[in-house]
Amino acid sequence: GELFSRFDREPAASASIAQVHRAWLPDGSPVAVKIRRPGIEEIIADDIEIMYHLSSLLENNIAEIEYLNPVAILTEFERVIKLETNFTVEKTNLIRFANAFKDDPIFFLPGVYPEYCTVRVLTMEYIPGIKLSDLYNEETEGYDRALIVERIADILFRQVFEFGFFHADPHPGNLFVLPDNRICFLDFGMIGYLTENLRQTMGDAIVSVVNRNYTALAHALLKITGSPLPENFEDFERRLAEMVEQFYFLSLKEINIGDVFIGAMEILVSFNLSVPASMYLLGKTVTTIEGIASRLHPKFEIAEFAKPYAKRFIEESLSPKRVIGELTQTLTDLTILLRDLPSDLKEISQKIKKGRLHIEVDEKSLQPIQDTLFRVTTDITLSIVLTAGIIGSSLIVHSGIPPLFAGIPILGLLGYVVSGVIGIGLIILLIRDRFR
């Protein structure tokens, strides 16, 4: 039989990846049917292939861009875009959020109809509301804009601090407002995840900022990036201190979280430290919410609003129960390490005996040595060529081999000229290396 008793051919909404149609189930229930655009996978694949080519060119030819790791960023983008075009993943994400926020009084999540869903089709409960962007029009009445902004921020911070996963694309087109000012998020293809360790380290970073302990802040950020101590650690710590001190004595209403995030990212990138994709997504999400607030509720102070959520999270992370849990986990890890140590040492010993122990060396760490050897080899080679040229030219001049110019062999004169050019080049190289 027919899947739907009625199906509107004209899309109710369209985007680059999909379009949404309104339909009715056989029992009369109104639904929204999200359908992936035909051929979109091929278009995305072609675009990504071009982007990979350009990213590789940039990474291999511009040193400043290499540390941004554009190929890795594009790889993450490719992974995310594939998830966004797989509506089975979006269905799972939506169900996960619905379970986390079950019976929430302000956060409405549409029901899903799994029997009407595939990789290319997602069928959801129809939302009887308006797009958040419609509230940008001052003529739209009947909605409490200040309350709506506060509820959106509340939902976001609960996602981050309580559950460790968040909607990573909350632009105004993906947010609906119901007549009773409840908030509905749509398009769950892009989700950010914060592991327990990452959230704990974020808490450590917040405490470090409050205490103005920039050494601890530097260590927390290094842990977030998964990087070892840089050689210029003191410079890294100083840059962080300079950034935080710019904001420290400002009131929270004067602080733009987006600016703080961008400043921190610039410092990390300048020290060649990679940033987890989840942190990029979190920064983008908070900045998006700030932009919404600036349009609908200009007096809203997002930093002040976030304060109790962060405080509660830190208090919970320092609670005796959490500390005991972390100590238990540490002891468990230590027990496993000690248990496996004898067999690991035996394996290493056997590899040494068989000559099969391989030690990997970071090629970048050898680059300065390679550069020095190249310069020294070049200087020695030019010196040998210069000496040979002078000696050879002198022998030709003394031999009187024709043709002659003013009684001097022309080959000898040319040899002296070439030797002179090489000599000047060698002097320039030596001076350049001296002041490098």
In a domain, 35, yes or no: no
Q: Which of 200-209, 234-243, 427-436 ranks highest by mean pLDDT?
A: 234-243
* Position 177 pLDDT exceeds 80: yes
In a domain, 422, yes or no: yes
353 and 285 within one domain: no
289 and 406 within one domain: no
Bigger pLDDT: 165 or 382? 165
pLDDT digit string, tens, across residues 59-101: 788 766 666 677 877 887 888 888 888 999 999 999 999 999 9
Nearest to 288 by CA among 427, 406, 170: 170
Phi and psi (nearest 5°) for 371?
Answer: -65, -45
* pLDDT tier at 132, thresholds 50, 70, 90: very high
343 and 225 within one domain: no
* Position 412 pLDDT exceeds 80: no
In a domain, 60, yes or no: no
Mean pLDDT, range 199-209, rounded to an integer: 86
Give the span between the Cα atoms of 210 and 207, in whole angstroms.
5
* Position 357 pLDDT exceeds 90: no
pLDDT given at position 117? 95
Amino acid at 128: P
pLDDT given at position 153? 96
Judged by DSSP in three states, 108 sits in strand
* Residue range(s) defining the domain that contains residue 383: 364-434
Q: Where are the beta strands (DSSP E) in 114-256?
A: 121-125, 130-131, 165-167, 175-177, 183-185, 191-193
* Position 37 pLDDT exceeds 60: yes
Mean pLDDT, range 101-121, rounded to an integer: 94
374 and 311 within one domain: no
Could you say which of 318, 348, 375 is where a domain stops?
A: 318
In a domain, 67, yes or no: no
pTM of the complete model beyond 0.75:
no
Torsion of CA 414, 416, 418, 421, to 10 degrees: -140
Sign of the torsion formed by the C-alpha atoms of 295, 296, 299 and 302: negative
pLDDT given at position 356? 76
pLDDT given at position 366? 54
pLDDT given at position 435? 45
**Do you find a cis peptide bond into 230, omega within 30 degrees of 0?**
no
Sign of the torsion formed by the C-alpha atoms of 126, 131, 132 and 134: negative
345 and 243 within one domain: no
* Position 362 pLDDT exceeds 60: no
Bigger pLDDT: 64 or 9? 9
Torsion of CA 135, 141, 143, 146, to 10 degrees: 70
pLDDT digit string, tens, across residues 205-242: 888 888 889 999 999 999 988 888 888 899 999 999 99
pLDDT given at position 21? 95
pLDDT given at position 199? 87
pLDDT given at position 292? 94
In a domain, 164, yes or no: yes
DSSP 179: T
275 and 303 within one domain: yes
Bigger pLDDT: 414 or 312? 312
* CB of 23 closer than 8 Å to CB of 33: yes
395 and 289 within one domain: no
Give the span between the Cα atoms of 62 and 362, in whole angstroms.
20
266 and 227 within one domain: yes
Mean pLDDT, range 373-388, rounded to an integer: 60
268 and 338 within one domain: no
Could you say which of 251, 285, 318 is where a domain stops?
A: 318
In a domain, 73, yes or no: no
Domain count, the chain: 3
335 and 262 within one domain: no
Q: Which residue has the tokens 């797009």?
A: 131
Strands 107-108 and 18-24: unpaired
If you average pLDDT over every residue of the chain, what do you get?
Answer: 83
pLDDT digit string, tens, across residues 253-301: 777 777 888 888 889 888 888 778 888 889 889 999 999 999 999 999 8
In a domain, 234, yes or no: yes
Length, in residues, of the chain: 436
* CB of 287 closer than 8 Å to CB of 261: yes
Q: pLDDT exceeding 70 applies to what percent of the chain?
A: 83
274 and 160 within one domain: yes
Bigger pLDDT: 240 or 324? 240
In a domain, 34, yes or no: no
pLDDT digit string, tens, across residues 290-308: 999 999 999 998 888 988 9
420 and 311 within one domain: no
